[in-house]
Amino acid sequence: MASGTPNVPDYIFAEKIGTGSYADVYKAYRKGAVREVVAVKCVLKSNLSKSALDNLVTEIGILKRLRHEHIVEMKDFVWDDKYIYIIMEYCSGGDLSAFVKSKQRLPEAVCQRFLQQLAAALKYMREENVSHLDLKPSNIFLKSHRNPSLKIGDFGLAQLMPEDDTNSTIKGSPLYMAPEIVLKRQYNAKVDLWSVGVILYECLFGKAPYTSKTMEELIGKIKKEKPIEVPYGTNISSECRDLLQQCLQRDVNQRIDFDDFFNHSFVDLEHKPGPESISKATELLTRAVNFDGCKEYENAYKNYSEALQYIVPALRIEPDATKRAALRRKVVEYLNRTEELKKILKSDNEAVRNTKIPQIERQESSSNEYRGNRDELIRLSSTTPQIQTAMEIAASGELYAHEGNAAIALEKYQLALGKLLELLQNEPKGRRKDLLREEVKRWMTQAEYLKAITEGSLNSTNSTASVSIPEADVEKNCSIQ
């Protein structure tokens, strides 16, 4: 597309970040003191057919009414003699298609988290009677690379469609399109649930179920009545398998409906992290601790387990590394107590057997699960907040290092070590001093390694990958400048 340079007053255009048959998308900055970053979809008027213009009008109308944390926000639209400009929220993490390709396949826990976000957006869209009709990984964006949050975008084919309405116009991308659309049959809003099933399948297994080399081969696969099967030898939970099979029913009458989808145990919208998660968890934990103190272990176990279902997802999205480190320690404490109660109650207890206890994923841990004697040091420092605070800062440095942000990790280590070295000098001889010296030595070694990375003495080939940090294994003096 080329017909003069797109220009929107009050915005400075940067690089092109996307292109299509009748529109290009640019990264742009709002002029002024606060340079807000946006994405501008530039639609060339001369390329618009009547149907494309109708779709554009519908898209703008739908985007004006949609406001949800997991839907790309339209901020404004303007036009001049050549272009129509749709000014959108900018998502710096790219699209889900590229993310899956970079990882090859995603762990089930990550797939579930992404699915919850898509489901929350779809539930809101159903309330607004909006069907997307072109859900696919390249139309789903990541707000950022860190703590990725999905946003549904590109509503160019979307329609206002109550659940019981039907249509027959072919819309979407064949690889993600429900069979009834490809086969030119009547279809309804449940086509979006087929697409969600295909997206989940691709996230789990690295490719869509009907992946083909040619369009002819693809259409041939879609026309066959053979049901989609989970790849042989893959290990996924029964809940995940059940949802996949229900979404990918070729017969629309057998396919899961929206209410059952939103209430499915694998989608688990009730425990999607949000503003209320910590308060709900706190209420349940208070009850659990009270029951525990009264030796009402079954009630204590039930409340601990329910609390963890709220607090573990909240831990995953906490943006502040220091708070996340502190929260994680509490989660580990409650997980350990829940496991102890499980042993007390025995596995033949039906309530215990059927209770779901979430686990902390490996990537949530600090420094590859290293704990050493740190828990003992934390207990011995319970009356010394200066030591606790400094250790929390250093622990947040470990999290930043694990997430690949060496520069911020180094800053955290330097700040923490400045405090800890001073405290260590004044610490009387004893077990606590020995443990504190052990932690300081280890963090110094890690900080020196990070310093070498940030100064270029070591190669860091991927700035977004986790940093593999060596452990302190020798007695030596380390200085951080």
Domain boundaries, the chain: 11-89, 96-268, 277-364, 376-454
Which residues of the chain fall below pLDDT 50? 362-370, 459-481
Please tell me what DSSP assigns to residue 95: B
Q: Is 346 marked as binding a ligand?
A: no
pLDDT, one tens digit per residue, over 11-50 is 999 999 888 777 899 999 998 877 899 999 999 988 888 8
Strands 74-79 and 83-89: antiparallel
Can you read off the two tokens belonging to residue 92?
A: 């710096």
Helices 385-402 and 321-345 cross at an angle (nearest 10°) of: 100
Helices 108-127 and 191-205 cross at an angle (nearest 10°) of: 160
- Reference 427, options 387, 464, 466; nearest CA is 387
By three-state DSSP, how is residue 15 classified? strand
Q: In the chain, what are the helix, strand and coil shares in percent, each to the nearest 5? A: 50, 10, 40
CA angle 443, 447, 451 (to 5 degrees): 175
Instruction: Please give the model's pTM, rounded to 2 decimal places.
Output: 0.72
Is 96-268 a CATH 1.10.510.10 domain? yes
Distance between CA atoms of residues 84 and 73, nearest Å: 17
H helix or E strand, kind and range, residue 74: strand 74-79
pLDDT for the residue numbered 174: 84
Q: Considering 10, 54, 81, 134, which one is annotated as catalytic?
A: 134
pLDDT for the residue numbered 471: 41
- Reference 320, options 236, 237, 412, 386; nearest CA is 412
The domain made up of 277-364 has a fold known as Methane Monooxygenase Hydroxylase; Chain G, domain 1 (1.20.58)
pLDDT for the residue numbered 164: 65
pLDDT for the residue numbered 167: 65
Identify the CATH number of the domain defined by range 11-89.
3.30.200.20
Is 65:128 a contact under the CB 8 Å cutoff?
yes
By three-state DSSP, how is residue 44 classified? strand
CATH architecture of 376-454: Up-down Bundle (1.20)
Distance between CA atoms of residues 109 and 97, nearest Å: 18
Asked about 292 being catalytic, the answer comes back as no
pLDDT for the residue numbered 472: 41
Distance between CA atoms of residues 118 and 272, nearest Å: 11
83: number of Cβ within 10 Å = 24
Q: Please list the residues that pair with 41 across neighbouring strands.
A: 25, 86
Task: Note whether 11-89 and 277-364 share their fold.
Answer: no
pLDDT for the residue numbered 464: 36
